[in-house]
Amino acid sequence: MSEVLAPFEAMLDRLFPLQRVRAIDGGADWAAELSEVEASGFLDALVPGGLSLADVVPLWRAIGQRGAPLGIAQTMIDRSGRESGPARALLLAAAISGAADRVLAMSVDHAAQRVQFGKPIGRQQAIQQQLAVMAEYVVAVRLAVDLAAQGDWPSGEQAALAKTVAATYAPLIANTAHAVHGAIGISAEYDLQLFTRRLHAWRTDGGGETFWAQKLGRAALASQDDALDWIRSALF
């Protein structure tokens, strides 16, 4: 997987530094960057005979980690020639997972560097507890995304589970990050808001956690299996 992910990440780092991400957020055209991604061949990752879904989802997570345009990943889905609905939900969940990774790393780094009363705030038990809980949320999102990416293509139920989990934890991760950072975290000049805004936006894109949880509930109620058998067959 590293032979695919590493060059993709290097390309994203080169094309979408945070200064460029800010410009694109402000309405700047990114056609030149899209042309380079096109030339790399990654936009055809999901065409028949291409990469597996398990190989592509980490690419989507990398997009979220860098705040790069989701249009890159959506083009991969569009070119697959397959049902786009579940894949779009999984894409959003993977992007949330990537942004959550970035937000957690920024929060841990800030807690280690920010000094109050003569010591880093990361030494305070309350901050340590907040970061530990945030890390649990981040891992939960990652596991839900990876579960949905195990097969050839995500089922509606697997995609719904991934989006439900990601959308549930996205605001909690963002809120904890801002609590750890304090006032500086909401300033336009500070990078944290680039990713917490995305967490909130991607949470509601295509439906929030209630929308997707209801889809899961309706599917479970429509099944003739008992709850445990349905979970085993539909989600694993």
Distance, in Å, from the CA atom of 51 to the CA atom of 44, rounded to the nearest integer, reads 9
pLDDT in tens, 74-85: 999 999 999 999
Counting the structural domains of the chain, the total is: 1
For residue 68, which phi and psi values (nearest 5 degrees)? Answer: -70, 160
pLDDT of residue 1: 61
CATH number at 47 reads 1.20.140.10
What element of type H or E holds 202?
helix 192-204
Q: pLDDT tens digits, residue range 49-78?
A: 999 999 999 999 999 999 999 999 999 999
CA 151 – CA 186 distance, rounded (Å): 39
Residue 207 in tokens: 């439906």
- What stretches in the chain show pLDDT beneath 50? none
* pLDDT at residue number 117: 87
Report the candidate in 98, 102, 95, 101 with the shortest Cα–Cα distance to residue 77: 95
**CA-CA-CA-CA torsion for 146, 84, 2, 97, nearest 10 degrees?**
-50
Q: Which domain holds residue 28?
A: 2-235
What does pTM read for this prediction?
A: 0.96
Q: Is 153 left (phi over 0), alpha (psi -120 to 50) or beta?
A: beta
